[in-house]
Chain A
Amino acid sequence: QQQVKQSPQSLIVQKGGISIINCAYENTAFDYFPWYQQFPGKGPALLIAIRPDVSEKKEGRFTISFNKSAKQFSLHIMDSQPGDSATYFCAASATGGYNKLIFGAGTRLAVHP
């Protein structure tokens, strides 16, 4: 019940394309869903986050779509750039993010020029 399942494991996108990463969860107590971006040798950096009272949140080229009934959420990266090449992690937490984060296994994104 604590797991967050993330797919795909790896993704190759052409420059300018849309990158889509999906996550699913089981624990209905989760109420905060952030996405983190991690470059090699660095710590994860918070990218964007959503709470279940909205179905979509957009920040620049990054959009989270959230489907509460399906217990799924996804990250869309529009106009993907080579600089977006990194590992992306979805996560979930209960009590609005104040509790521990449960992370997915990660998606390695490569954006080819």
Chain B
Amino acid sequence: DTGVSQDPRHKITKRGQNVTFRCDPISEHNRLYWYRQTLGQGPEFLTYFQNEAQLEKSRLLSDRFSAERPKGSFSTLEIQRTEQGDSAMYLCASSLAGQAFFGQGTRLTVV
């Protein structure tokens, strides 16, 4: 499978715990994006990387959120001290020539 891969697919965590998600983009894609999608809404932009450089962060990305893309390959999104409002689908996308392809997402439930 040469698509965007996200792991885990589902995560249930207790409020206050830290969680980390991983995204493996399509191999030749140099741009990687993170979005968050809540039920009944469109995806909302969180942050994006060009290679290993994080070029933009949304105001939605509070200081509890951090994203990395070491060596310009896979990326991780960490949420510290999770809150119930963090419950959402976290989507990763990658692109090369302007067309963004999404992974299946990680469904986070904070209880």
Residues of A within 8 A of B (CB): 6, 32, 34, 36, 41-46, 49, 89, 91, 93, 96-106
Contacts and interface: CB of A to CB of B under 8 A. Distances in A.
Contacts of B4: 43
Contacts, number: 60
Q: For B6, B42, B45, B99, which residue has the most chain A Cβ atoms within 10 angstroms?
A: B42
Nearest to B103: A43
A84 to B, nearest CB: 19
A96 B98 contact: yes
B98 A98 contact: yes
A6 B41 CA distance: 11
Contacts of A99: 56
Interface in B21-80: 31, 33, 35, 40-45, 48, 56, 58
A106 B42 contact: yes
Interface of B: 4, 6, 31, 33, 35, 40-45, 48, 56, 58, 91, 93, 95, 98-105, 107
Main secondary structure of the interface of B (DSSP, over half): strand
Given A98-B31, A100-B33, A100-B56, A44 B43 contact: yes
Contacts of B105: 42-43
A97 B42 contact: no
Contacts of A101: 33, 35, 43, 45, 100
Contacts of A32: 98
Contacts of A34: 99-100
A46 B101 contact: yes
B100 A97 contact: yes
A104 B42 contact: yes
Contact of A43 (B31, B45, B91): B91
B31 A44 contact: no
A97 B103 contact: no
Nearest to A98: B98
